[in-house]
Structure 1
Amino acid sequence: MAEQLAALAHDRALLGRTSTAERVSDILRTRIADGYFPPGTRLSEDGIGGALGVSRNTLREAFRLLTHERLLVHELNRGVFVRVLTVEDVEDIYRTRSLVECAVVRGLGEPPYRLEGVAAAVAEGESATAENDWKVLGTANIHFHRELVALAGSERTDELMRSVFAELRLAFHVVDDPRRLHEPYLARNREILGALRAGDKRGAERLLEMYLRDSLERVVEVYRRRVAP
């Protein structure tokens, strides 16, 4: 816990003089997504509040916001914990991803599309693979899908999927072999990008549907082995 609190103390500068529960929740959301607080971790009000230099009330409001986003869970007489997802949670996350991401690709207008962000995420994944950094590759894969969603040009959709992708990271943190989980999808990211560059949105949608189906099967397999009773 000392390492995590030291990282939060570094984040304290981000709060500035206008510290709010929303900004605190942004910091904690990022730290949870990055794996500083793995699923099942109890979050100390005193420790985190002291590291960030915020009041107990502000921190509790931030906890409430993240509980609403399904990243935290409050257990009576025990405290606040980073949520441990169930198989049903994972299946629902992927159901939402399929509904939203495929609809975004299907709804694209006439090409060419603005694919700079999508291409940058593929390049990020290639760089991580070259360095054998599989955790960063997982982050790059999420960035790829976030950039796909951004093609819709909808702030509401971006906001919705921000929470979904944060939940997805909770699932990734219990995976025992991140390379096996993430590496095969870099080539598939390239395929989807290639289809979009060619103006083939129907082909890109088909590739994305198969991608999400196969990814779901792989993550659920891990969950049934490591988490589910």
Structure 2
Amino acid sequence: MSMSADRAARALRDQVAEGALSCGTRLPEERLSASLGVSRNTLREALSQLVAERILVRAPHRGVVVATPGADDVRDVYRVRLLVEPGVCRDTTAHSTGGLAAVRAAVTEGRAAAAAEDWPGVAGANQHFHRGLVALAGSPRLDAQMELLLAEMRLFFQRMGAPEPFHRPYLEENAAIANLLEEGRGDDAADRLTSYLRAAEHQLVEAITALDGSGPRRS
């Protein structure tokens, strides 16, 4: 992929991860190429990359649209998260003071958003918390993989509807995990995070299955 296409793909991926693009949104090439400042050919290269990442899909008669994930997508993403995130928590030798500060900042961000009743902001802070957790590993490859997963996670959250009932309980879970990490209790943080992720997966699968009836859905 060219550098320009990579930048365009990253910009669109970030828009999905931050909630600016929602499930089913059509992405017309002319408008996008102008807003991103790239050629139509470069944009097509970027869109193809995001389709390969399962963030976008090609829909008959509609062109490229933001994916609408199904329950099987949730299960697969959480399979990866359960392998990666608790493992990063356990490896306390890799945790830096700056990295832990970023995790704590995401907790503070979430609490401030909740106090303002900004629940989309709480959802965004939760994304930042998990990005910060994975960043503790100090691995650019893991960071890049987490960016893909977080974009899909935002689409899962969108399918849940109102964000407050889902995100409110995890505010203090995030704080508890941050406390354990700051105390050097990586194994305890990992165990708590594993339970947390399994609970979130169950909620998402149950809600999306109810919406879809059954089976995966990508468009």
TM-score of the superposition, structure 1-length normalised?
0.86
Within 5 Å, give how 1:1-229 maps onto structure 2: 20-76=4-60, 78-109=62-93, 114-229=99-214
CA distance, structure 2, for counterparts of residue 19 and residue 197 of structure 1: 38
Relative contact order (alpha carbons < 8 A, sep ≥ 6): 1 or 2 greater?
2
2:45 is paired with a residue whose SS is helix
CA distance, structure 1, for counterparts of residue 48 and residue 184 of structure 2: 43
CA shift, 1:198, in A, is 1.7
Which amino acid letter does the alignment assign opposite residue 132 of structure 1?
E
2:68 is paired with a residue whose SS is coil
CA distance, structure 1, for counterparts of residue 73 and residue 184 of structure 2: 34
**Deviations 1:101-143 (CA, angstroms, capped at 9, x unpaired):** 0111122228885511111010000110110011110111111
Contact map agreement 2:26 2:65 (CA 8 A) in 1: yes
**Deviations 1:42-61 (CA, angstroms, capped at 9, x unpaired):** 21112222333432101101
**Structure 1 residue ranges without an equivalent (≥5):** 1-17
CA distance, structure 2, for counterparts of residue 206 and residue 67 of structure 1: 34
Contact map agreement 2:27 2:63 (CA 8 A) in 1: yes
Which amino acid letter does the alignment assign opposite residue 74 of structure 1?
R
**Deviations 1:192-213 (CA, angstroms, capped at 9, x unpaired):** 1111122211111111011101
CA distance, structure 1, for counterparts of residue 37 and residue 127 of structure 2: 31
**Structure 2 residue ranges without an equivalent (≥5):** 215-219
Q: CA, structure 1 residues 111+151, in 2 after alignment: closer, same or farther (shift >3 Å)? A: closer
TM-score of the superposition, structure 2-length normalised?
0.90
CA distance, structure 2, for counterparts of residue 19 and residue 34 of structure 1: 22
2:57 is paired with a residue whose SS is strand
2:20 is paired with a residue whose SS is coil
**Deviations 1:3-57 (CA, angstroms, capped at 9, x unpaired):** xxxxxxxxxxxxxxx9811111122112222333211122111222233343210
Q: Which has the larger radius of gyration?
A: 1
RMSD: 2.0
**Residue aligning to 2:217:** none
Percent of residue pairs bearing the same amino acid type = 42
2:199 is paired with a residue whose SS is helix
Count residues with an aligned counterpart: 212
